[in-house]
Amino acid sequence: MAPRISSSISTMVKVGVSLGLALLLFWYLYKDGFADTLYRLRFVNYSWVVLSLFIGILAHLVRAYRWKLLLETTGNHPTLLRSMMALLIGYLVNLAIPRLGELSRCLILKRTDNIPVTSSLGTVVSERIVDVVSLLMITGITLAIEFEKLNEFFKSVFAEKLSGLFSNIQYLVLSVVILVSVLILLWGLFRRKVVNSSWWGKLKSLAYQTWQGIISITRLSNPWKFWLATVSIWVLYYFMSYVVIFAMEATAHLDWKAGLALLVMGGLAMSAPVQGGIGAFHLLVSGLLIYYGVSKEDGLSFAFLLHSSQMVMILLTGLLSVLLLVSIGKKHPNPGKANL
């Protein structure tokens, strides 16, 4: 009981710190002009925002389809609807506790389709690796196209922090070397006891199942479907952000290259370990727009509009998925058949 209480307290502290930092950054950005931001939103053409929401839902549908392709390589066959519900509920959970959503969607498929969590979690890891590589590739392409603007932006945001990091890099390397050495020493001393313990076999079994999920991408019967879905996801993400540009007069002049830069900034911000990218998204997007001739006030308004619309979409679709999950219950025991 005590370890569980300790773990719960640790989780609460991490969530509290993460949310606190996010809200602090948000407050810092909007403390002098939030009323002005709300005023500017009165003149937004919300038809573009609605279009963005539909594109976002389509992107999530394609992502659920891609995840389903990976799950099928592990011998599991959830329906597209169940995969979609699990995905959307996972996004909803991430708003409360960052990174817990990945585990949550695996637990949901365990409940509805009796899919082992280790197998599905492995496919999620595989997905994340592909997404990180994709984002890095898109970032590289965007840097090549918009090098001057992005170079100045990254310098203004990260230059001081990176210089401080590199000035202490030797201490970081030394710490890693010491840690690895200690781990190797401990393994040498206690290897026999560890290998002969009862939990070691269970741990190996769990690791094997997870690894099978991770390498599921290598066993796809139709790899072109997976890669076409991956490209489609990022194209849809691009248009999800880009069409909102036309919702505000101050940003309507931005071209497709600015849309690429917005996609990169949004991707980096949403990868930050804070709830829903709060604060980080507003900082990066509004700061970037200044280099495209958008005023600070309009940039903050646009960032708030784009981020808020995406959060509303996650909240609504996530809550709807919870209701559907409760109503449809579990899948038929035969994995080859599906209720929905």
- Return the structure tokens found at 165: 């990091």
Q: Tell me what the mean pLDDT of segment 113-127 comes to.
A: 87
**Shortest CA distance to 95 belongs to which of 336, 339, 332, 317?**
317
**Shortest CA distance to 257 belongs to which of 132, 156, 149?**
149
pLDDT averaged over every residue in the chain? 82
Q: Tell me what the mean pLDDT of segment 217-230 comes to.
A: 87
What are residue 81's phi and psi, to 5 degrees? -65, -45
pLDDT-based confidence at residue 161 (cuts at 50, 70, 90): very low
Most distant pair of Cα atoms in the chain: their distance: 70
pLDDT digits (tens, 9 = 90+) for 162-214: 454 444 445 556 666 677 777 676 656 666 665 566 655 655 655 665 666 56
In a domain, 120, yes or no: yes
Question: Cβ distance 258 to 302 under 8 Å?
Answer: no
How many angstroms separate the CA atoms of 216 and 197, rounded? 30
In a domain, 211, yes or no: yes
Look at residue 246 in the predicted model and tell me its pLDDT: 97
pLDDT digits (tens, 9 = 90+) for 246-289: 999 999 999 999 999 999 999 988 887 777 888 889 999 999 99
How many angstroms separate the CA atoms of 20 and 312, rounded? 21
| pLDDT higher than threshold 70 for residue 58 | yes
Of residues 58 and 331, more confidently modeled: 58
For residue 217, the one-letter residue type is I
Q: Tell me what the mean pLDDT of segment 136-144 comes to.
A: 91
**Shortest CA distance to 44 belongs to which of 254, 257, 251?**
251
| 3-state secondary structure (DSSP) of residue 77 | coil
In a domain, 9, yes or no: no
Question: Cβ distance 338 to 286 under 8 Å?
Answer: no
Question: Cβ distance 209 to 119 under 8 Å?
Answer: yes
| pLDDT higher than threshold 90 for residue 42 | yes
In a domain, 67, yes or no: yes
| pLDDT higher than threshold 50 for residue 66 | yes
pLDDT-based confidence at residue 157 (cuts at 50, 70, 90): low
Cα dist from 13 to 10, 16, 223, 276, 339, whole Å = 5, 5, 42, 18, 41
In a domain, 236, yes or no: yes
Structure pTM?
0.80
pLDDT digits (tens, 9 = 90+) for 282-338: 999 999 999 999 999 999 999 999 999 999 999 999 999 999 988 876 654 444 444
- Return the structure tokens found at 59: 């992107």
The distance in angstroms from the start CA to the end CA of the chain is 39
Q: What's the helix, strand, coil split of the chain in %, to 5?
A: 85, 0, 15
Tell me which H or E stretch contains 170.
helix 169-196
How many angstroms separate the CA atoms of 10 and 143, rounded? 39
pLDDT-based confidence at residue 221 (cuts at 50, 70, 90): confident
| pLDDT higher than threshold 70 for residue 13 | no
Structurally, the chain folds into a number of domains equal to 1
In a domain, 105, yes or no: yes
How many angstroms separate the CA atoms of 121 and 106, rounded? 6
In a domain, 335, yes or no: no
In a domain, 337, yes or no: no
Look at residue 162 in the predicted model and tell me its pLDDT: 45
How many angstroms separate the CA atoms of 86 and 263, rounded? 25
Question: Cβ distance 271 to 224 under 8 Å?
Answer: no
Look at residue 156 in the predicted model and tell me its pLDDT: 72
Domain around 169: 28-327
